[in-house]
Structure 1
Amino acid sequence: MTPLKICLILHSTRSDNLGVGALTVSEVEIIRDIARDLDHRIDITVMDWTDKRTPYVGGDDITIRDLDGRVMINPRGYFAQARRADLVIDIGGGDSFADIYGGRRLRRMFILKYLTHLARTPLVMAPQTIGPFTNKTSAFFAKLSMKLCAIVTTRDDLSTKAARDMGVTRDLVIGSDVALRLPYDAPAKTDGPVKIGLNVSGLLMGGGYTGKNEFGLQMDYPGLIRDLIADFQSLNAEVHLIPHVIVADGRNAGEDDYRASQALHAEFPDTVLAPAFDSPSAAKSYIAGMDFFAGARMHACIAAFSSGVPVIPMAYSRKFAGLFGSIGYNHTVDCTSETAEAIKSKVIAGFENRIALTQEAKTALQTGQTRLKTYESALKNLCAKLIAAQS
């Protein structure tokens, strides 16, 4: 039996951002399910940026190859890997297929996409945010790449609309976030005070990547977080500070949720500081033990949502409302347009109405899983065709 060879790009097995890791772990779970269903071995190669963190996926079907600028432009590097592969799957880091994060990140994405097209290897866009593209040149190359892909999957209705507004006329698969599939260990329920999980974004605590508020927050985020901790503690709740971006080696410390949580824990010593998790599943298993959750990292919120914990997502971009709204969970607050007082009121109201939110989340999760099945089915059908072509 000749294995089907799948290469994953713009995924990560060892990112400090456990949200990107959650996408990769979940994608691998989907591919392994397809391999079992088709009764055919699938070998997976992940092209991954070099990082000191221990990879959180492994197995005899997994190969991890380091990726950097030299590998990207060397004909014997990524291009050769793409030619060896039967299929390339690109998840765009979840939300990076846009020009709002700067030209450097998008250029790297385009290089990988167009090298794949040049290799004439089928390229699948796994569920991800599409846009916004404010630059006409970026929009042109994004539209052309989508035209050349074997499958294009959006993870929310806003992304579908963005693609259509760009002039993309091809069939699109309307999916949802693959991290809904992220495995975890459900903790045993314990007696004691109500447990509130609060994910504090180190990025937002520091004013964004540059400290100049490039996300356009209209409120004092650090002040809001301190007020929420104080208010929840006044209700005799046990507040857990839960990081989801954990910078292991000191680089990019301004993005580190763990350092931000440590500082708040020192200020509010009655809080519980969650561990510096070593994998996305470990973080989700901890979050699953909460009675209520609020956070500014979208995949921390997805971990709560998909493990049955009522959650108030605290958005700094349209990806939050796009994802959760598309599946009927309309409890996202918007840090770019609402006041701190309004957001605090909604978060507290969500906590007080957490039983009703739990039922809403359960219904919305079923919708998200159904939408995700459309992606899994499309990918399975493509794999079956490629396996048949090997015969």
Structure 2
Amino acid sequence: MPRQFEIGLVWHSVRSGNLGVGALSVGNIALARRAAERAGLTPKFTVIGPREPGPIYISGPDISAREITGRYMASPGGYWADLGHLDYVLDIGAGDSFADIYPDKRFAYIMATKAMAIARGVPMILSPQTIGPFSRQPHSAAAAWACTRAEAVFARDPLSMAALAKLAPHAKAFQAVDVAFALPFERRPKSSGKPRIGINVSGLLFSGGYTGKNEFGIEVDYAALTRGLVAALLARGDVEVMLFGHVNSPLPNDDDGVAVDALAREFPGATKVAPFTSPSEAKSFISGLDFVVGARMHATIAAYSSGVPVVPVSYSRKFEGLFGGLGYDWMVPVRGLTTDAAIAYVLNAYERRAKLAADIARGSAIVEAGLETYVAELARCFAAAAARK
């Protein structure tokens, strides 16, 4: 009978309203399960992530959850005790939080989970994620130390791989792809009538960012871009426009539903899609669309990985890094297009959606190779750890 193997999934979530974090969590569980079974092991998962509201959508007899709080991290009976029961830690840094661009308190928590696993002697892999940017001390030195002490570090795009090589040249580094490409879903049929165009609305960008002052530095006026696209598409009369979100947040300026509701009131000819209850439900819906434009990265990954032509609207290098690594250049960049030019670009991409679909099909081999790189190394590391016990 295969031996039970305890895996801690750090900075994952069983209930995040940000369905991108949920997609990472579901995808990484699927890939870690595949790797464990390849190594002849029966996995059991402890999902360790921040305290969040909302219903649980990841559960099972072999899945338990812990919430990261100050008390949990400081108590001898909290994270430290949980580490003692684990055979391996997979730390995904919530996808893009392993960087020094966020408040120091956030970085301290991101580092503490890694430092304590290292101190406890539990082997740790940094699962595919954005690495950096790092430009401050002691943040850079601390991050480099964690990368060097990890059993392996996986960058999810070429830009992150380059950042990792500069940050920690002696780390055991691999380039893979975002684990959300492995998110399971049920494929939906395409419309038998008008083509359905999905507009994934980012409440964060619609509000002008967390500060309302466009701290991301995007050149387009995102709210005007979105309104212009909806108006132009509705004016055609030959498509159905579907407005949907991918982040349900208690913060009004980050909640996609607030922006979707505002646009639905302004454009009654568009169809408002009810908030999704899980990342797989969202991806299943997206799979039935004919074209997507989106500003939440994992909504665009859901489109790409289900073969739907998609134009991401970028607000950070994680977009350019991820899709550039797939040879997929269809994107509204952070800088380089005016709002009117971006609207024209997206409308032209819709007309050329067969070309986008062909480019996605060509990139699928890169995705599969990246996922296999990750699974193969996980299987090797899991088997080695089990043999040492």
Question: TM > 0.5 between the two?
Answer: yes
Alpha carbons 1:97, 1:106 under 8 Å: kept: yes
Q: Residues of 1 paired with 2:112 and 2:337: CA distance?
A: 38
Moved more, 211-220 or 311-320: 211-220
Task: Give the drift of 1:38.
Answer: 3.1
Within 5 Å, which residues of 2 pair with 1:231-380? 231-236=232-237, 237-247=239-249, 251-380=250-379
Give, as a single letter, the amino acid of the residue that structure 1 aligns with 2:94: G
Give, as a single letter, the amino acid of the residue that structure 1 aligns with 2:156: R
Q: Residues of 1 paired with 2:53 and 2:162: CA distance?
A: 38
Name the residue aligned to 2:80: 79
Task: Give the drift of 1:387.
Answer: 1.9
Task: Give the drift of 1:99.
Answer: 1.5
Name the residue aligned to 1:54: 55
Long gaps (5+) in structure 2: none
Q: Residues of 1 paired with 2:24 and 2:171: CA distance?
A: 25
Task: Give the drift of 1:25.
Answer: 0.4
Task: Give the drift of 1:334.
Answer: 1.2
Within 5 Å, which residues of 2 pair with 1:65-144? 65-144=66-145
SS at match of 1:75: coil
2:40 matches 1:39: yes
Task: Give the drift of 1:348.
Answer: 1.1
Task: Give the drift of 1:52.
Answer: 2.7
Name the residue aligned to 1:196: 197
Cα deviation digits, residues 233-252 of structure 1 (max 9, x gap): 122211111100013xxx21
SS at match of 1:333: coil
Q: Residues of 2 paired with 1:192 and 1:257: CA distance?
A: 28
Task: Give the drift of 1:75.
Answer: 2.2
Q: Residues of 2 paired with 1:65 and 1:136: CA distance?
A: 30
Cα deviation digits, residues 62-95 of structure 1 (max 9, x gap): 0112221110122221111112211110011111
Task: Give the drift of 1:7.
Answer: 0.5
Task: Give the drift of 1:341.
Answer: 1.8
SS at match of 1:254: coil
Give, as a single letter, the amino acid of the residue that structure 1 aligns with 2:342: I
SS at match of 2:153: strand
Task: Give the drift of 1:335.
Answer: 3.2
Task: Give the drift of 1:2.
Answer: 4.4
Q: Percent identity?
A: 40
Give, as a single letter, the amino acid of the residue that structure 2 aligns with 1:59: G
Cα deviation digits, residues 7-51 of structure 1 (max 9, x gap): 111111111100000000001111222233333211110113222
Alpha carbons 2:147, 2:168 under 8 Å: kept: no
2:188 matches 1:187: yes
Moved more, 47-56 or 85-94: 47-56
What is the TM-score of this pair, normalised by structure 2? 0.97
What is the TM-score of this pair, normalised by structure 1? 0.96
Long gaps (5+) in structure 1: none
Q: Residues of 1 paired with 2:176 and 2:72: CA distance?
A: 31
Equivalent residue pairs, number: 387
Moved more, 295-304 or 362-371: 362-371
